[in-house]
Each structure stands twice: as C-alpha cells, then as structure tokens.
C-alpha cells in the first residue's frame, strides 16, 4: 500500500527514480513493486513527454478504490483497537514511540553492528 500512498500524494504520477527516492528503496525494488501493481491493474506506466526513456507511474481507478477500501478498513480497526483508551493516553504513547523511533534512527550506536558489544560467551565446557 505504501507506493499507492506515495502516488496518491504525487497526483501527476512519479518516475521510478522519484519513487525510489521517496520510498528509500532501490530501483530494482521499485521495478518489481510497480510490475506487481501493474499486473494487478492498480497502476500503469505512461510515457513522459519529452523523454523517450522515462515513464511515469500513475495510479489507476482500481488503485484509488483499493486505497479507499484499505483506509476504511484501517479506520474501522483503529476504532476497535483504541476504543475506551483516553485521547491523552494515546497522545502520550505516540510521543514516546516517536522519541524511541527518532533515537533508533539517529543514534549510530543503536544502528550499526560494529558499535554493538560482542555477545558474552560462556567459558565453561559442558
């Protein structure tokens, strides 16, 4: 669904390169994803005027319908999941999760394998 949301925000369609940049994925991943969505009839590729090689990926009506249905389902699930949970508690939880996510993204010691301590190895033989 992510690519459909990216295309919905773009409105005019996006090139493979623009999709890769926005989604932070490789060109090969974009190609596979677009191929799959195109086979499903959710998106199509159109020639970019003035550039014979580039193509725009554009959401089809079936893609818009899928996104609308997904949003409705997700909204209903959110309502059920959070039913009875006070708004202020939800807001606090969201702030805490955003803080944790930001720390995970910015602290190299939490991201890089090289900076993590080696696991402890037992010296006793069984």
Residues 58 and 42: their CA atoms lie apart, in Å, by 9
Greater pLDDT, 35 or 114: 35
Element at 8 (helix H, strand E): helix 2-10
Predicted confidence (pLDDT) at residue 8 exceeds the cutoff of 80: yes
Question: By C-alpha distance, which of 64, 46, 66, 47 is closest to 7?
Answer: 64
Given a contact cutoff of 8 angstroms between Cβ atoms, the answer to whether 64 and 8 are in contact is yes
What would the two tokens of residue 108 be?
């190299």
Residue 115 has pLDDT above 60, yes or no: no
Predicted pLDDT of residue 117: 61
Q: Which of 12, 13, 8, 6 is nearest to 68 (CA)?
A: 8
* Average pLDDT of the residues of the chain: 89
CA distance 30 to 33: 5
pLDDT tens string 28-82: 999 999 999 999 999 999 988 777 778 999 999 999 999 999 999 999 999 999 9
Sign of the Cα pseudo-torsion (91, 93, 89, 78, in order): positive
Token pair 């060109």: residue = 27
Number of Cβ within a 10 Å radius of residue 13: 18
In angstroms, the CA 99 to CA 21 distance is: 24
Indicate the domain borders of the chain.
2-62
2-62 architecture in CATH?
Answer: Orthogonal Bundle (1.10)
* Whether residue 23 has pLDDT greater than 70: yes
């Amino acid at each position: 669904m992510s690519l459909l949301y990216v295309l919905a925000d773009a409105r005019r369609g996006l090139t493979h390169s623009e999709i890769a940049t926005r989604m932070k994925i490789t060109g090969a991943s974009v190609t596979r994803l677009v191929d799959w969505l195109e086979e499903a009839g959710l998106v199509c590729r159109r020639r970019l005027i003035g550039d014979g090689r580039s193509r725009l990926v554009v959401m089809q009506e079936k893609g818009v319908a899928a996104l609308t249905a997904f949003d409705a389902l997700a909204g209903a699930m959110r309502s059920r999941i959070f039913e009875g949970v006070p708004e202020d508690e939800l807001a606090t939880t969201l702030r805490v999760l955003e803080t944790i996510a930001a720390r995970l993204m910015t602290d190299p010691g939490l991201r890089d394998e090289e900076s993590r301590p080696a696991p402890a190895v037992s010296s006793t033989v069984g």
